[in-house]
Amino acid sequence: DAKTTQPNSMESNEEEPVHLPCNHSTISGTDYIHWYRQLPSQGPEYVIHGLTSNVNNRMASLAIAEDRKSSTLILHRATLRDAAVYYCILRDVRSSGGSNYKLTFGKGTLLTVNP
Amino acid sequence: ETGVTQTPRHLVMGMTNKKSLKCEQHLGHNAMYWYKQSAKKPLELMFVYSLEERVENNSVPSRFSPECPNSSHLFLHLHTLQPEDSALYLCASSRWGDSSGNTIYFGEGSWLTVV
């Protein structure tokens, strides 16, 4: 699986935008970029995913570099509830061997939101 | 509420006990997963079931025994565990074979302590 690199931790203030970076220089053309987050004492939850174009949903935006070697998760206005570990994960969705189901988690970025 | 329910949320067991973790999904999915999250370690995929057939056993010791009686239920039977098996056990589900980068939904986890 292609690897991702994220900062160990980041800090933000409430009501301000947060840009969480992810480097994935060995990404392949069939890798989707997924973001999940894990709030304290809970299981991970899906945030957003994309392939080449930037994506928006009610939770966040995903900005993907033109060469796809990096991406940024954008929380437009951080709230205290957004304090979590954010995981950037690559998923190869080729169906060979059924391996497209795998989510391989790294250490993620611990986001602290200050009131 | 993610649509994936795990019970019990907390379990303390002795090394000679036999217990089971239960997972139920109400999302109409046909793939289910067990993940393990130890303190200060990334999530590790343990088992994957697709259409009630096990498709992956990620080198998990035999003291962990999964069971998937139907597409909505998944169990993890535990016996003669070791203290190092204490961890958060997460169940998840998804649609199998969706090549668009389908989302995996996690339960809130079962905290297991082996004494």
Q: What is the dihedral sign for C-alpha B97, B103, B105, B111?
A: positive
Tens of pLDDT, residues B39-89: 878 899 999 998 778 877 778 999 999 999 999 999 999 999 999 999 999
Q: Closest approach of chain B CAs to the CA of A104, in angstroms?
A: 8
pLDDT recorded at residue A63: 98
- Other residues' Cβ atoms within 10 Å of the Cβ of residue B36: 21
Cβ-Cβ contacts under 8 Å, B103 against chain A: 46, 49
Angstrom distance (rounded) from CA B100 to CA A12: 32
pLDDT digits (tens, 9 = 90+) for A67-107: 999 999 999 999 999 999 999 998 876 644 455 567 788 99
Chain B partners of A51 at a C-beta cutoff of 8 Å?
A: 101
- What is chain A's mean pLDDT, rounded? 90
Question: Among A92, A20, A31, A32, which residue's Cα sits nearest to residue A59?
Answer: A20
**What whole-number distance in Å separates Cα of residue B80 and Cα of residue B63?**
6
pLDDT for residue B6 is more than 50: yes
> Does the pLDDT value for residue A1 go beyond 70?
no
